[in-house]
Amino acid sequence: MSRVAGLSGELTRSFSTGNTPPILLATGVVASNAPAEGIVKVSGHVERIGAPGRFQRHRGQPPFTGPGKTVKIAITGPDSKGGAPPPRPATLTYQRADDASRIFDGRWQCGS
């Protein structure tokens, strides 16, 4: 899926809500300081985002940013014990430059 989105990298992380396709897809290179790159889809619009390197440690910190937006992932509980590695309950906060924001409850998953 990351290749379809035009993202490069060897590790993929995603955030999804319910049984829907991910609303955030990010990729990075393990053991590299290269920045992560990604896309986020909110209100029907797909937008580019990025975050500083060390992607294998990326648990939503630091936040992803893009023109006029900040996207924060917060892990809210233990893994769901399914998959390898298993998804973790999380929230995604999408904040615009004008301070308007939306919060989504869902799952943060590596390797999807």
Token pair belonging to 54: 């060390």
pLDDT recorded at residue 28: 85
Strand 69-75 relative to strand 88-96, pairing? antiparallel
Instruction: Output the CA–CA distances (angstroms, integers) from residue 105 to 14, 40, 74, in the order listed.
Output: 13, 15, 10
pLDDT recorded at residue 2: 54
pLDDT (tens digit, 9 = 90+) per residue, 54-77? Answer: 665 555 567 999 999 999 999 998
pLDDT recorded at residue 34: 85
Judged by DSSP in three states, 71 sits in strand
- Give yes or no for a contact between 77 and 88, defined as CB atoms under 8 angstroms apart: yes
pLDDT (tens digit, 9 = 90+) per residue, 1-54? Answer: 555 568 877 888 899 999 999 999 998 887 788 888 999 998 899 999 998 876
Domain ranges of the chain: 11-110
